[in-house]
Structure 1
Amino acid sequence: MKRSQLDLRNEPVGSLLWKMSLPSITAMLVMAFYNFVDIFWLSRLGPQTIAAVTVAFPIQMLFGGFGVGTGVGAGSFAARRFGADDAEAANRTAGQIVFLSISISAVIIVPGLIFHDAILRLFGATDEILPLSREYFIVYLFTIPFLIFMISAGNLFRAEGNPNYSMYALSTAALLGAVLDPLLIFGLGPFPGLGIGGAAWAAGISQFATCLLSLRLFRTPASSYRIRREHLAPDLPVIRAIYRVGVPSMVMNFVISIVLTFYNHILGSYGPAAVATLGIIFRVQGLIIWVLVGIGHGVMPLVGFHFGARLYRRLIDTVNTAVKYAGILTIASCAFLQVFADPLIGIFTQDPGVMAIAVPALRIFALSLPFAGANFTWISMFNGLGKGVVSMSLMLLRDVLLLIPLLILFSMQFGLAGVWAAQPAANACLFLGALYLAKREFRSFPASGVASSSDK
């Protein structure tokens, strides 16, 4: 293992989890800051612009799911291969993300350009916001190959014990995007004013720059990957191994996309202000959710490595420590949002119609956070174990069997308040199911694993 890398086998669990998670948390917070800045500038164009971007969000989740699935699958497989001292298989895995990023994007972009209006209407665009959604969506399509590669590369960096590389790459994308946003939305100096399309251009340019940086980082001496030309050719056994974990992760993103589509259609009946509220809430809660994602990014490669090395006690301690950290964060965050919902919404809009809907909506939505911390950790654990089907089943339980029915039922019974209340109810039920499965998984491990120096 390189000197710049962490000692995944022997370092104490608490500090190792912190060191693995902190770079991802930092990168995720920078990404959340970028999303904050993005919606802040777009909100200056009016609630309809926020609504138009919100309508495009489930489509982004759908297409971005290919990046998440490829990245989670590649990262999980590479971590297990490194744990088993099979570096060549990890190298082949890294090479495949280039091929997969290009080939998947080609399949998405062409039909997207042909059927853009039909796609946008399917995902909830009304006549009022369709032109703005179209303007944003068409530019977004061309960013997909960079997005898939960027997400996948970040997972591979974490899998080799180099989480700082992932932080550098994602932070580059976020900071560059935050700088370009106002320049391309409003037009400053030599930059043209592109309106809502400028936000999509800013994202695409920043993601392209991040891909170039990631390719450079793969070639540094500190990286364990040694990618050769032959690794870029399609390798079906490796691709199957990637998507054995990756497909369930994709499905999880696809299901989230479906849920957001239901939100868009239901909220669309209340007007653009209600749809814009959903977009604002996602940005505010995103500051907490992205931290949970960062913790999950730290958990997954550690679980994969410890499982591959048969260090079961360390695996369990890692997961339990992560659940504790996530729980403290989410309970405190929920309390904070209850108190400061009004000024937080005011950052994005002073429109009375949006404020009247968004402030109580944020307070209700925040009630889901205390359950979300543990849920994210346990789902990341199953991904790290290579049990993506279990992770997918948990997400399907929440979103298909619980959230969508509750969303429809609660909206019929309680109106807008019911729309917001469906999320906390579904997350609470998922918590119970995930807790049961995590405990059952722990009991399935052998009573003793391979000892490490930190365990003695």
Structure 2
Amino acid sequence: MENLSENKMGFMPVGKLLVSMSVPIMISMIVQALYNVVDSIFVARISENALTAVSLAFPVQNLMMSIGVGTGVGINAVLSKSLGEKKYNEADKIAVNGIFLAFLSYLVFLVFGMSLVKAYFEAQTDNQEIIRYGISYLTTCCVASIGIFGQITFERLLQSTGKTFYTMLTQGTGAIINIILDPILIFGMFGAPRMGIQGAAVATVIGQIVAFLLAVSFNVRVNREISINMKGFKPDLNTVRKIYSVGIPSIIMLSITSVTTYCINSILMKFSSTATAVFGVYFKLQSFAFMPVFGLNNGMVPIISYNYGARNKERIIRTIRLSIQIAVSIMLLALVMIQVYPVLLLHMFNASEDMLVIGIPALRIISLSYVFAGFSVVAGSVFQAFGNGIMSMLVSVGRQLIVLVPAAYLLSLTGKVNMVWWAYPIAEVASLVISAAFLKVIYDTKIRTMEDNIDDEDFPGNAFQAAE
């Protein structure tokens, strides 16, 4: 294995480094957001009930992503820190144990897909067509979920060593394959069988499996800073503990979205299945705003973790400040687009008049939360980069379970579905306040004591507190 004297995360100018690390991931995640939207656009051509079924399936799909990404965050943070400390053997051990954890995660959803999907949909609706569509779609996604878990894990290994260009290739390839196969398998084009909604699921898992295999190939061929050798592997409980000390809070934090979405879907189904379909459309569209910010975070986390291991205060602060500025700019742009073009966006999903009546105010109200979201999303990843995933979890619990769901329920008692959407801006304001407070704590406990010639007022959390 080739041990480099210094990784680029320790010396490249911060602005250039953050761009080089983040932009490839941002591009690939925008492509992923595109295929999520395309997936629903084609499903909407089947029927509104098919679109509703996909919306109801989202909490389980998000749970798979949450476990995969949360575990990946743990792998990323501890592996990058080990590289920053020049502990290369420990980095190798983290990599192989991370792969083992990905396989265990797949087994859980394999069992769910084979035994519990029908009960899951029957708990949400008695519409037999929606249930039938949902079982067909979600069973396929769960049984073949080895692709998504493998893809996320091996992409995180590339990100941990700064090779984010390759993750752009893997994610982009998987997304493009999905986009191409969607209409072919859903509608039976070019001699392929007409599979309907199941075709959308098959297209998704094929794209994920191809991306997984490509990520494995890149790790073997170009990722020289870690060595992956599963021969004679035995799980190391101490390494697993390190990964999950960061990963479990992140998993819980991300999984809360599944719980929240399930609850909001249940609230909206009391109004109409159309309201639930609108909520599903919103989740597809909002990925265009959040995916680039998540891509930015994926580039930011290893930079902070590496320089935390190397005790470089100045580079840490500059990275955090620049990341917040970029994230807020992205979210403001997304806000403007949704406020100006809600009708055009809804028409992409074959929106009926009823869907437009509910959807236009829904998109405009929920997107107001973007004004605050950029700061909070970056702050959550900063906590993870310093190994304080519990803070991210607490922010997410506070935002979604303590504020969002109760607010949505109370607003639903007015009998007006448009009132329910206001729960999102309310929850995001709460998230902003908590995130700023925790960011100040991170500075005081992790960064302040480092020796460096940089003004403490330049740290975003301090500046926010001063403004208050």
Per the alignment, residue 459 of structure 2 pairs with: none
Deviation at 1:448, TM superposition (A): 4.0
Question: Contact 2:79–2:94 (CA<8 Å) still a contact in 1?
Answer: yes
Deviation at 1:350, TM superposition (A): 3.6
Distance in 1 between residues matched to 2:124 and 2:67, nearest whole Å: 18
Deviates more, 1:78-87 or 1:230-239: 230-239
Deviation at 1:440, TM superposition (A): 2.5
Deviation at 1:191, TM superposition (A): 1.5
Per the alignment, residue 24 of structure 1 pairs with: 25
Deviation at 1:129, TM superposition (A): 1.1
Deviation at 1:67, TM superposition (A): 0.6
CA deviations on 1:258-314 (whole Å, 9 max, x unpaired) are 100011111111222111101111122211111111111111111111111111221
Per the alignment, residue 35 of structure 1 pairs with: 36
CA deviations on 1:308-345 (whole Å, 9 max, x unpaired) are 11112211111111111111221222122111111111
Question: Contact 1:341–1:362 (CA<8 Å) still a contact in 2?
Answer: yes
Residue aligned with 1:349, SS: coil
Question: Contact 1:143–1:203 (CA<8 Å) still a contact in 2?
Answer: no
Note if 1:449 corresponds to 2:451: yes
Distance in 1 between residues matched to 2:223 and 2:430, nearest whole Å: 43
Per the alignment, residue 457 of structure 2 pairs with: none
Note if 1:293 corresponds to 2:278: no
C-alpha distance 261-91 of structure 1, shift in aligned 2 (>3 A): same
Distance in 2 between residues matched to 1:156 and 1:376, nearest whole Å: 22
Amino acid across the alignment from 2:137: Y
Residue aligned with 2:413, SS: helix
Calculate the aligned-residue CA RMSD, in Å: 1.9
Amino acid across the alignment from 1:109: L
Per the alignment, residue 228 of structure 1 pairs with: 229
User: Unpaired segments of 5 or more residues in structure 1?
Assistant: none
Identity between Structure 1 and Structure 2 (%): 29
- 5 Å matches for 1:189-208? 189-208=190-209
Residue aligned with 1:220, SS: helix
Deviation at 1:87, TM superposition (A): 1.4
Amino acid across the alignment from 1:301: P
C-alpha distance 266-37 of structure 1, shift in aligned 2 (>3 A): same
- 5 Å matches for 1:15-414? 15-122=16-123, 126-230=127-231, 232-413=233-414
C-alpha distance 87-231 of structure 1, shift in aligned 2 (>3 A): farther
Distance in 2 between residues matched to 1:125 and 1:181, nearest whole Å: 28
Deviation at 1:167, TM superposition (A): 1.1
Deviation at 1:407, TM superposition (A): 1.0
Deviation at 1:449, TM superposition (A): 3.4
Question: Contact 2:304–2:319 (CA<8 Å) still a contact in 1?
Answer: yes
Deviation at 1:236, TM superposition (A): 1.6
Deviation at 1:101, TM superposition (A): 2.2
Distance in 1 between residues matched to 2:434 and 2:112, nearest whole Å: 38
User: Unpaired segments of 5 or more residues in structure 2?
Assistant: 455-468
Amino acid across the alignment from 1:280: V
C-alpha distance 93-257 of structure 1, shift in aligned 2 (>3 A): same
Amino acid across the alignment from 1:89: E
Distance in 2 between residues matched to 1:373 and 1:260, nearest whole Å: 20
Amino acid across the alignment from 2:314: R
Deviation at 1:176, TM superposition (A): 0.8
Distance in 1 between residues matched to 2:283 and 2:367, nearest whole Å: 11
Distance in 2 between residues matched to 1:196 and 1:293, nearest whole Å: 28
Deviation at 1:365, TM superposition (A): 1.0
Per the alignment, residue 9 of structure 1 pairs with: 10
Amino acid across the alignment from 2:357: A
Distance in 2 between residues matched to 1:223 and 1:178, nearest whole Å: 32
Question: Contact 1:2–1:222 (CA<8 Å) still a contact in 2?
Answer: no
Distance in 1 between residues matched to 2:330 and 2:64, nearest whole Å: 30
Question: Contact 1:96–1:239 (CA<8 Å) still a contact in 2?
Answer: yes
C-alpha distance 413-6 of structure 1, shift in aligned 2 (>3 A): farther
CA deviations on 1:410-437 (whole Å, 9 max, x unpaired) are 1113621122111111011100110111
Distance in 2 between residues matched to 1:377 and 1:208, nearest whole Å: 29
Question: Contact 2:161–2:223 (CA<8 Å) still a contact in 1?
Answer: no
Question: Contact 2:186–2:194 (CA<8 Å) still a contact in 1?
Answer: yes
Question: Contact 1:52–1:125 (CA<8 Å) still a contact in 2?
Answer: no
Deviation at 1:123, TM superposition (A): 5.1
Question: Contact 1:125–1:133 (CA<8 Å) still a contact in 2?
Answer: no
Distance in 2 between residues matched to 1:167 and 1:287, nearest whole Å: 16
Distance in 2 between residues matched to 1:56 and 1:211, nearest whole Å: 23
TM-score with structure 1 setting the length: 0.94
Question: Contact 1:71–1:151 (CA<8 Å) still a contact in 2?
Answer: yes
Question: Contact 2:158–2:223 (CA<8 Å) still a contact in 1?
Answer: no
Distance in 2 between residues matched to 1:147 and 1:158, nearest whole Å: 16
Deviation at 1:222, TM superposition (A): 4.7
C-alpha distance 450-95 of structure 1, shift in aligned 2 (>3 A): farther
Distance in 2 between residues matched to 1:13 and 1:296, nearest whole Å: 14
Distance in 2 between residues matched to 1:82 and 1:451, nearest whole Å: 25
C-alpha distance 109-354 of structure 1, shift in aligned 2 (>3 A): same
Distance in 1 between residues matched to 2:344 and 2:258, nearest whole Å: 29
CA deviations on 1:369-404 (whole Å, 9 max, x unpaired) are 111111110001111111111111111110111111
Amino acid across the alignment from 1:178: I
Question: Contact 1:309–1:450 (CA<8 Å) still a contact in 2?
Answer: no
Deviation at 1:253, TM superposition (A): 2.3
C-alpha distance 417-91 of structure 1, shift in aligned 2 (>3 A): same
Question: Contact 1:67–1:147 (CA<8 Å) still a contact in 2?
Answer: yes
Distance in 1 between residues matched to 2:204 and 2:80, nearest whole Å: 29
